[in-house]
Structures are given as structure tokens and as C-alpha cells.
Amino acid sequence: MTRITAEEALRRLKDGNRRFVSGTPRTSFPRRPELADGQDPFAIVLGCADSRVPVETVFDQGPGDLFVVRIAGHAILPALLGSVEIAVAHLDAAVIVVLGHTNCAAVGAALGAPEDFGAEGQSPADWLASHIRPLVEGLSPEEAVVANVRGSIPPLRAAVPGIREKDLPIVGAVYDVSTREVGFLED
């Protein structure tokens, strides 16, 4: 398959979100037999595990179109990085999108988390919040969501071999759970 440009990949995501917001998404996704032999997604999307943000639905994309990695707060943790590394190495996606969302519980937990995350008995959720906290400390919830997206891009670029070599763009975006719109962040 021919790799599409990052601009075309972003156009597809933006067009799909417009269809989703307007209430006119594709009504059915034909079962594509070629998916049994492999995948060829045009974008890698890192998103939050929040049930209100079904990535393929938000972008009105079907099976095989997106390689989606989800973890609360899209925290840049080893399992997420490993998934992205596999996708970058073995797939020919045109862009990586880091997708945050409004009213994110993981970001909220990081904003309200205690100062000492190294305490004995720390829960897994506290540990996850401790990875987000440095990016959002002292910000309002709305600012924190954007800061978490923006702050996730440099460590992702630094940690995943192949992103620089392939000149793979990483774009930040925020999904508004009220309006259902995705706003792509300008750098």
C-alpha cells in the first residue's frame, strides 16, 4: 500500500470527526477480507481509556484504519511506548495523534494527587497520576488537559525508535466530551 501524507491523514480524521459531530457517520463498515492478512492503518492514535472517547467512532473510521493505544490519561508509560514502537516499526502510518479529552479523570487525579508518590502502599492509579502530574501541576483542569497532550509529545518522540528516522509527525488534539468535536492543537 502507498503511504499517505500526514496532511491527508489529518484531513481524514478531521472529516470523520465532522461526520460524527453532525450525526451523519458512515452507517456501516464493510467487513474487509484483506484485514485477515494484515493491517495498514493510516494513523496511530494514543488516547485515554475513558469510555466516552471511542477513538474509531470519534473519527468515524472503520476496522483497520487506525492503530489505537489507550491508557488512562494517555500516560507515557512503558506499555504504551512499546505498543507505539511496534506500530512505528511494522506499520506505515502517516501520523501519530496524541488525543486528550475534556473532563479527564486521570488528569484530575494528577491535579489532586499528594506530593509524595513514593509512599509505601501507593495504588496503581496514584502511580499513573504521578506520571502525569509534572505536566499539569498548578494548572486549571482545562489547561491541564492541553498541557498533558503537549507534554506527552517530546518524551514519545525521544523514546520510540523510528519516529525521527521516518520523519513521522506527532500532532496533539483534544476531544470535547460535551460538543464531540476534536480540536487539533497548533504548535
Supply the pTM of this predicted model: 0.84
CA atoms of 181 and 19, how far apart (whole Å): 10
CA atoms of 112 and 85, how far apart (whole Å): 31
Cell numbers given for 126: 496514584
pLDDT at 26 over 60: yes
Confidence of residue 185 (pLDDT cuts 50, 70, 90): very high
Cell numbers given for 98: 496524541
pLDDT at 22: 84
Q: If you ran DSSP here, which 8-state letter would residue 160 be given? A: S
pLDDT at 113 over 60: no
Q: pLDDT tens for residues 47-106?
A: 999 999 999 999 999 888 999 999 999 988 888 899 999 999 999 899 999 999 999 999
Put the strands of the sheet holding 43-47 in their side by side order.
66-70, 43-47, 95-101, 170-175, 182-184
Identity of residue 146: V
